[in-house]
Structures are given as structure tokens and as C-alpha cells.
Amino acid sequence: MLERTLVLLKPDAVQRGLIGNILSRFEQKGLRIVGLKLRRFDLKLIEEHYSVHKERPFYPKLVKFMTSGPVVAVALEGKDAIEVLRKLIGKTNSRQAEPGTIRGDLGMSFSNNLVHGSDGPESAAKELKLFFAGAGELVDWTPATLEWVYSVEEELA
Ligand code: IDP
Ligand code: MG
């Protein structure tokens, strides 16, 4: 019933001091953080993560950008979390992203667009495995606010 999805706060978000702003949007929305790490991820991992875009003209620059500095990887859980997160993030080109979305509020760039979010159940499963491979890196827990965030009987039963 509850879904999990992967978010990356890209190097521009970290460099611009926006980690707190972006993480607090997830908390305020009611998405549960079940995994969190800051790393400079290696080239191989980033290439694998973006392998669907391998043939695209922007791929080399994208991979270079994503390995240029620290990235924060976040695993989020919630009902329909994948779709909810994609909506929170907004359109790929930050200049076209709606106000209220992360990209719409905080960015001006197509390529430096602050966040990655898995685009479907298959990519979410693959990406969570890539970025949270170790035992115990994803944590099962129940927020004390759960029954206020959801109508539990109606939505989570
Ligand atoms: P998404 O991040 O909104 O899912 P994708 O199409 O999956 O967008 O592209 C992956 C990432 O590649 C984007 O977030 C962006 O950083 C970069 N990108 C995609 N298309 C372009 C482009 O046309 N110009 C520059 N960068 C792009
Ligand atoms: Mg994508």
C-alpha cells in the first residue's frame, strides 16, 4: 500500500545551501524519510543511475554534473509516494516548473534542476537498490503523526 521512492538532492542544491529547505518540504508534505545519506557518489553509480539516458546529448554533461560534488540521497515512503514526489518536484526545466514546486520555487535551470525523483515503480525499485544497497540503510518506522497525516482506516487499511 505504501510506496517508496528515491530522491537525489543534486550538487546545485547542496552547494546553494538548499538541503534543509528541500528536506523540510518532504516532511511538511507528510512523506516519511526512511533513508538519508550525503556522499560524493562515484562515476560508475551515477552512470548506471542515468543509463536510460545514455544515448541522449545531455548525458555526458549530466554525469559530470552529478559527480562534481556532494549529493544527498533520500528514500521517501508514503501512499502514492512516487507520483506525489514527482508533483512536488515540478517540470524538468525549472523555468517552466510551476510555482509551489521545488524546481518552480528554487531554480532557473534545465540541467541544474536541484532534484531527481524516480519516475515509476520500476525505476524506484532499481534506484533505491543502487543508492541504499547496504543492510539497514532503509529504516522501517512509524511516525507519531501518521493518524493525523492520513485517514488511516480510509486510506491505509
Ligand atoms: P527528470 O529529472 O525531470 O526526470 P529526465 O528527462 O529524466 O528529467 O532527465 C534527467 C536529467 O537530465 C534532468 O533532471 C536534467 O538534469 C537533465 N536534462 C534532461 N533533459 C535536458 C535537456 O534538454 N537539457 C539539459 N539537461 C537536461
Ligand atoms: Mg527522470
Statement: residue 52 has pLDDT above 90: yes
- pLDDT band for position 1 (cuts 50, 70, 90): confident
- Tell me, yes or no, if 116 is annotated catalytic: yes
Share of residues in the chain with pLDDT > 70 (%): 100
Query: At 119, which helix (H) or strand (E)?
Result: none
pLDDT value, residue 15? 98
pTM value surpassing 0.75? yes
Write the pLDDT tens digit of every residue in 72-126.
999 999 999 999 999 999 999 999 999 999 999 999 999 999 999 999 999 999 9
Mean pLDDT, all residues of the chain: 98
Q: Return the CATH number of 2-155, one of 3.30.70.141, 1.10.10.10, 3.90.1150.10, 3.40.50.2300.
A: 3.30.70.141
Q: Which of 12, 66, 92, 116 to mutate to test the pocket of ligand 1 (most atoms within 8 A of CB)?
A: 92
Write the pLDDT tens digit of every residue in 132-141.
999 999 999 9
- pLDDT band for position 152 (cuts 50, 70, 90): very high
Q: Between the CA atoms of 155, 86, 138 and 41, what dihedral angle is there, to the nearest 10 degrees?
A: 180
Q: How far apart are CA 114 and CA 112, in angstroms?
A: 6
Catalytic residue among 4, 25, 32, 116: 116
Instruction: State CA 27 to chain mean position distance.
Output: 13
The alpha carbon of 83 and the centre of ligand 2 are apart by a number of angstroms equal to 12
pLDDT value, residue 135? 97
Report CA-CA distances (Å) from 136 to 34, 35, 74, 102.
Answer: 10, 9, 14, 29
Q: Is 39 helix (H, G, I), strand (E, B) or coil?
A: strand
Share of residues in the chain with pLDDT > 90 (%): 99
